[in-house]
Chain A
């Protein structure tokens, strides 16, 4: 690990605009610092600035940026109204990691592309302009949607996939003031600048995540992975679905580990609404979702896997 200066923030205002890398749970950052993939010259510890409470806000919920993943998943209000979020958090990492990892840190976690994590490999995300070793390399875990010639990495997390389905918002404090953006617009596609995972600007700090009022109906998180626990997703599907009189009246879907961001496709949600559940409908939804999907060799299997996982989730969500 490279040497760095360490300082503690006493309040949010110390952190906003600070010329330092912020650290809270540190479970991803310190891992990458040991690998010298991340080499910050200054760390600012933000674990003592508050922002660690979950509070009601209207019919929704405000989750502080520093609420741990474990505390969020175990929170009675979250479990009751937004069980999808609890389930997705509990699908990720291990209990030890969830006790440290925070809400904002989880959103900002980096890809687990093995070439990104290996300093000897070409990687446009880690070293812009160096190329992408995953293209033509071992790319079993990589993206099938929204890729570019520069990067085929995935966003690896579970929590943000649930937040995308729930249409959460991210509250951000910056040197120029605060802003609030939909979670669905927080992460970026790689395009020609994969070094940027999300839309945070230098000096900005996530302060909370806002959940809208709970949706009546079913909330499902299905995660497909190489082992049953403590593994990243190959494909995951988060679904919020409401049915009235046998007809789908609301559908909010999000997909994990198939793109550089939690993937949402409003066309798929729109297609489902107003229809009666059937295998033919689920096939049509998968066709639409995956019409632009492209395998890279090692991850070709993700296309049929995403299709089947979507069909399984829709069948479960619409079963009587």
Chain B
């Protein structure tokens, strides 16, 4: 086997040199190498969104990307958004709106929502936008469509929606 090039990856502001088997997904790297177990492995095939993290500010499925491909990237996980003594606005809103039951999808939901709020700020359209060239409405249908990459088996969607709306309407940093 050829020598695998190294990758320097910053996770929540801490740099880590990744070396080793190139098969390791970013998800397994975060959980095993970094011990950041907030990011969850659900389907491991990009279908459920439980592994959602932000890379350079954009949300992705960490299960469907190789750690070694992230040389120079900045990864933000749920731990980087807020810890129990420093909850982010979205984390607080998920608690106050009861936006989960078992909690397994929650880190992915919150990372996804944080990135979604930024996408809306930048004017990105969605499939349900009436005019893709125009400004997006910030209604329930838009948020549901934009959050469709995150499944919740408990069916806490109504409360997840309420939590996200509260943060968006308050204009707080997510």
Contact = CB atoms under 8 A, between A and B. Distances in A.
Interface of A: 1, 3-8, 23, 26-27, 30-31, 34, 43, 45, 47, 70, 73-74, 76, 79-80, 83, 86-87, 90-91, 93-97, 99-100, 228-230
Interface in B115-174: 115-116, 119, 122-127, 129, 131-133, 144-146, 148-150
Chain B contact residues, majority secondary structure:
loop
B132 A31 contact: no
Contacts of A229: 127, 144-145, 148
Given A30-B64, A30-B66, A90 B112 contact: no
B60 interface: yes
A96 B60 contact: yes
A47 B59 contact: no
B149 A96 contact: yes
Contact of B23 (A4, A27, A83, A99): A4
For the complex of A and B, the 6 pairs showing the least CB-CB separation, nearest first, are A94-B149, A229-B148, A6-B22, A90-B127, A79-B133, A230-B148
Interface residues of B, number: 43
B80 interface: no
Nearest to A76: B133
Interface stretch (B8-16, B29-37, B45-53): B45-53
Contacts of B45: 31, 34
A1 B112 CA distance: 27
Contacts of B86: none
10 contacts: A4-B22, A6-B68, A26-B65, A31-B64, A34-B45, A47-B69, A83-B131, A83-B132, A93-B149, A228-B145
B79 interface: no
A157 to B, nearest CB: 14
B2 A95 contact: no
Contact of A83 (B66, B116, B133): B133
B74 interface: no
Given A73-B125, A230-B148, A99 B60 contact: yes
A5 to B, nearest CB: 4
A43 B125 contact: no
Given A5-B22, A74-B125, A229-B144, 20 more contacts: A5-B1, A5-B4, A6-B2, A6-B4, A6-B22, A27-B64, A30-B65, A45-B69, A79-B125, A83-B132, A90-B127, A90-B129, A95-B116, A95-B119, A96-B52, A96-B112, A97-B64, A100-B60, A229-B148, A230-B149
